[in-house]
Structure 1
Amino acid sequence: MPTSQPPSLRFPAFLHGTFSEIQRKARSEGRRCARQYKKDGTFPLPLHLREVQPGEVVLTHTLSDFLTKEQSAWRLHLFFDVLAPPLGLTPGPSLPP
């Protein structure tokens, strides 16, 4: 009987790292998304997905990130900063204009 793989949780790879690394990667990804959105009104798929490993820290809100800025973690709250510029939304406090 074949063994089934347990489901995995994967996020865009640019959302993992230190706060400053992710800011840099998020700006780059935002520009890539904006080019695609302006071209045909769609958003591209992430270039790379990375699996969340057991025990890794996943931060979902900016307020939870105040003590760990230079520790590697998943920072899902920065995802909005990628989509805000192409949609003309105001960037959040984590990514200055």
Structure 2
Amino acid sequence: MSLFKVVVLASITAAYGCSNEDLVNTKLHQTIALQKHTSGFAAACKGKLSMKSEYTGDVEIPAITSISCDDMDKKSEFFSPLSEADIEALEEQIKKINNVE
């Protein structure tokens, strides 16, 4: 899970000029990355977990989600440094999200 803790920080390119298939593919990869990040955060939470989503209606940023926890397991792999393999996988995920070959 540590791989996905920084995916949310990855820059997302504009979807303008893309085909509908490209847009759907981009949104699919964004959703998968966000779900994995959220799952990792939730797994590291030992206390009360809360989540709030605001749907914007914007194609590029369709939702703004905030999650919080009042007691986190600091030893969770969610907080561990990225390995070389994690970094390579993250690079591939960012390329998929941004439709970069």
TM-score (norm 2): 0.30
Q: Decide which structure has greater helix share.
A: 2
TM-score (norm 1): 0.31
